[in-house]
Structure 1
Amino acid sequence: IEDAKAAGIQYVYDDGTFGAARFDGSAPVLGLFEASHMQYEADRSGEPSLAEMTEAAIKALQGNENGFFLTVEAGRVDHANHAGNLARVVRDGVAFAEAVARADELTDDADTLIIVTADHEHAIAFSGYAGRGSDILGLSMKIDPAGTKALNEPNMAQDGKPYTTVTYLNGGGSILTEDQDWTGTRPTVSQEEATDLDYVQQALIPLSSETHSGEDVAIYAKGPFAHLMGGTVEQNYIFHVMHHAATAE
């Protein structure tokens, strides 16, 4: 940090120093807000949002006559999934969507390729047959006869207990423990418990941390050469599209 400051680099470490920094390209900016990972969006205090950092980065780079390449990653959605904590997954997902929207607002589709994707999936799934309007964080509610909305009555599993809209295949919320087998008792969860910020979704296989999975992930793109993103592709293909867009005359 001291070496960076001595070299004329702006050092920012909280909301205050971030707000006072110049993002006009006149001097580089080094932002170190935590000793390790930044806070979850649901817990964020004293540090800028992903959208705010995205905006600052674009403003700092957009004066380059040769253009720029910017990578924005929201890594804590991964950590929340590993913890089986859907409430923080969803909130960090929203923060990421806001960052993408901000990047779109600040750039021109005529000369900016924006690609949005993920590096892997998780062992997470919608349980199915939740009525329209069921809380994604809460219990799976029954569908009204007209099929237009959810009833205020949860769907029941064969053990006579409700289940949440979203569950995990494995992780810390496993319904199986050392003293249980398939004939064991699954905990009953209420709507209030399921929608709590710290609630860990029920899972099947007991693991200390939920795992990544093997599903394909989506790739969204807009701008020059976005038409090259279509169908199913290998991950290294994305690099070649970006390289082509960056070097094309």
Structure 2
Amino acid sequence: MYSLKFDVVVFILTIKLNSVLSSKEDSSYWFDLGKNDINNALNKPVIQGTAKNVILFVADGMGITTTTAARIYSATESGYLAFEQFPHVGILKTYNADKLVPDSASTATALFSGIKTNYKTSGVDSSVKLNDCEASLKPEARIDGLIKWAQDAGKSTGFVTTTRVTHATPSALYAHIPNRGWECESTIPDDSKKCKDIARQLVEDEPGKNINVIMGGGRQCLQSNTKDLPGDPVDTWACFSKDGRDLIKDWIQDKKGRDKTYAVVQNNEQLNSVKSSTEFVLGIFANGHMAMDYARNKSPKGMPSLSNMTQKAIELLHNNPEGYLLVVEGGLIDYAHHRGHARQALDETVSFSDAIRVALEKTDPQETLIVVTSDHSHSLVFTGYLSRGSNVLDVAQESVLDKIPYTSLLYGTGGPNNYQYSSINGTVSRADPSINDTRDYQYSQQAVVLTDEVTHGGSDVLVYAKGPMAHLFHTVHEQTYVAYVISYAAKMGQFKNNSQRIIVPSMFLVLNMLLMGISI
């Protein structure tokens, strides 16, 4: 009842804030807003119980600039994305073991396993360098994480992603690999063939083969020699299997051999028809990554949205009396940023927010911990002096020096489409964005430095939480902290046998105990 009252207050405040542009923002408005915020802070709900269920949402590449811009894009500057009014917020440091600016495999390993590792490695500790197959095979270098901890605790497990199910972020849930690019056999060098590729680890090994719900793209890594399909081309950037494998068939045989109920689904119609009592579901909806939400085929034969997959996953997993762990990745935010298409990235962020809204509607906050975060940021910049009420994708203003307009959103680095400079009569000139439709999904925002693509950012990211033990997120944390909070809240993994309360004696008490000769 207490939490319900708090949610009602938040809902009323949201309505008031969303009407800010049509109201008079005088001093009394801001004073009332401040009082309401203080009242909410004083009455912030703290849920101390055990988290029966955990849903971890990871937005790949969603730095704070992306969140801010997506909020304005989807509503107004005074609105909120679904997760931005969670009662508990912290900050995560995203560096990995050998780089200040990380990649998604290393950061996912930190999030899911609580251990920082090296650039582009997944599910192994920092003793394993990039491409070192021999080192990755050592048992002491291979680390377990949330999926294994949850399975050992008797919980159902699942993950859904808009990327390939073998891609960097999901790979850290189940694989141990010295190169995130080894998604199938064709990218593994001849001298490293003793290392099993990521796709095979998902289907053949623990904990991958015990994951109840798997949804995303990546057919070309699971089955050999896949072909272009209408609206679903082969991903030329990704691993393409040629060894004759059919890991989807192998997945089916494993479930049959264990006398488990199962379903393989490949479109909206098939996904919707899956009974909630089905024990194992494999949804592979694309050769490579799935289509972005604005471009996907929404018909019965088309691809589901992240919200569709999240809803079905919760329905499938919630039957276990021991609870479940679900990881949801909005992976195409990063994909859009890498190609310098800001609108696509913002649109995917809104779709990610929509999936979180579904999870909030489908779960009980008293028994489900929901954590929302990102693996890393991007070099997106929000600048200029755009007027309130403007579209965040528009031109901000004209440069005082070169008299050429620039957009409110820019990139620090970018590919050829973003690097919009030319030399005219020996003078470097920047292209005028006002002659283009800067709101177009395919428009490439301008970048300062020419690279092969937009590169990651190294800034901190935020973590938002709601539910049991969500208040443990409260300050600046290492990214690894997420795995330990989830482990502690759900009584699994490192904290499976620990009591729910950790009592740490104060330094004063420790000194007195030592002086009294009491062992500690």
Q: Offset of 1:128 from its aligned partner?
A: 2.9
- Aligned residue for 1:210? 454
Query: 1:78-134 CA deviation, whole Å, 9 max, x = no partner?
Result: 010000101110110110000011111111110111000000000011013111022
The answer on 1:91 being equivalent to 2:343 is no
Say which of 390, 412, 424 aligns to 1:134: 390
The answer on 1:164 being equivalent to 2:411 is no
- Aligned residue for 1:32? 284
Structure 1 stretches (4+) deviating beyond 4 angstroms? none
Letter aligned with residue 393 of structure 2: L
Contact in 1 for aligned 2:367/2:467 (Cα 8 Å)? yes
Query: 1:228-247 CA deviation, whole Å, 9 max, x = no partner?
Result: 00111000111100000110
The answer on 1:2 being equivalent to 2:245 is no
Contact in 2 for aligned 1:50/1:95 (Cα 8 Å)? yes
Query: 1:157-180 CA deviation, whole Å, 9 max, x = no partner?
Result: 121111111100010201346x58
Q: Offset of 1:19 from its aligned partner?
A: 1.7
Cα distance change, pair 12–191 in 1 and its aligned pair in 2 (3 A): farther
User: Secondary structure of the residue that 2:485 maps to in structure 1?
Assistant: helix
* Structure 1 segments unaligned to the other structure (5+ residues): 141-154
Contact in 2 for aligned 1:87/1:195 (Cα 8 Å)? yes
- Aligned residue for 2:481? 237
User: Secondary structure of the residue that 1:218 maps to in structure 2?
Assistant: strand
For 1:2 and 1:228, locate their aligned partners in 2 and report how far apart those are by CA, in whole Å: 43
* Structure 2 segments unaligned to the other structure (5+ residues): 1-247, 492-498, 501-520
For 2:384 and 2:490, locate their aligned partners in 1 and report how far apart those are by CA, in whole Å: 42
Letter aligned with residue 420 of structure 2: I
User: Secondary structure of the residue that 1:184 maps to in structure 2?
Assistant: strand
- Aligned residue for 1:11? 264
Give the 5 Å matches for 1:1-249: 1-6=248-253, 7=256, 8-22=261-275, 24-45=276-297, 46-140=302-396, 155-157=397-399, 158-172=401-415, 173-176=418-421, 183-190=427-434, 192-247=436-491
More helix by share: 2
RMSD: 1.9
For 1:10 and 1:25, locate their aligned partners in 2 and report how far apart those are by CA, in whole Å: 11
Contact in 1 for aligned 2:421/2:428 (Cα 8 Å)? yes
Letter aligned with residue 472 of structure 2: L
For 1:133 and 1:219, locate their aligned partners in 2 and report how far apart those are by CA, in whole Å: 28
Q: Offset of 1:192 from its aligned partner?
A: 4.9
Please report the TM-score for the alignment, with normalisation by the length of structure 1. Answer: 0.88
For 1:27 and 1:220, locate their aligned partners in 2 and report how far apart those are by CA, in whole Å: 30
For 2:411 and 2:434, locate their aligned partners in 1 and report how far apart those are by CA, in whole Å: 17
Structure with higher Rg: it is 2
State the identity %. 37
Q: Offset of 1:183 from its aligned partner?
A: 4.2
Cα distance change, pair 224–121 in 1 and its aligned pair in 2 (3 A): same
Query: 1:16-60 CA deviation, whole Å, 9 max, x = no partner?
Result: 2112222x1333110000111111112111111101100101110
Query: 1:172-207 CA deviation, whole Å, 9 max, x = no partner?
Result: 201346x58x94111111275211110010010001
Please report the TM-score for the alignment, with normalisation by the length of structure 2. Answer: 0.43
Letter aligned with residue 31 of structure 1: G
For 2:483 and 2:420, locate their aligned partners in 1 and report how far apart those are by CA, in whole Å: 41
Letter aligned with residue 96 of structure 1: F
For 1:63 and 1:108, locate their aligned partners in 2 and report how far apart those are by CA, in whole Å: 14
User: Secondary structure of the residue that 1:215 maps to in structure 2?
Assistant: coil
For 2:487 and 2:473, locate their aligned partners in 1 and report how far apart those are by CA, in whole Å: 13
For 2:290 and 2:354, locate their aligned partners in 1 and report how far apart those are by CA, in whole Å: 17
Letter aligned with residue 246 of structure 1: A
Letter aligned with residue 289 of structure 2: H
Letter aligned with residue 290 of structure 2: M
Aligned residues: 233
Contact in 2 for aligned 1:40/1:92 (Cα 8 Å)? yes
For 2:283 and 2:360, locate their aligned partners in 1 and report how far apart those are by CA, in whole Å: 23
For 1:230 and 1:166, locate their aligned partners in 2 and report how far apart those are by CA, in whole Å: 30
Letter aligned with residue 463 of structure 2: I
Contact in 1 for aligned 2:264/2:282 (Cα 8 Å)? yes
Letter aligned with residue 98 of structure 1: D
For 1:192 and 1:171, locate their aligned partners in 2 and report how far apart those are by CA, in whole Å: 18
Contact in 1 for aligned 2:421/2:431 (Cα 8 Å)? no
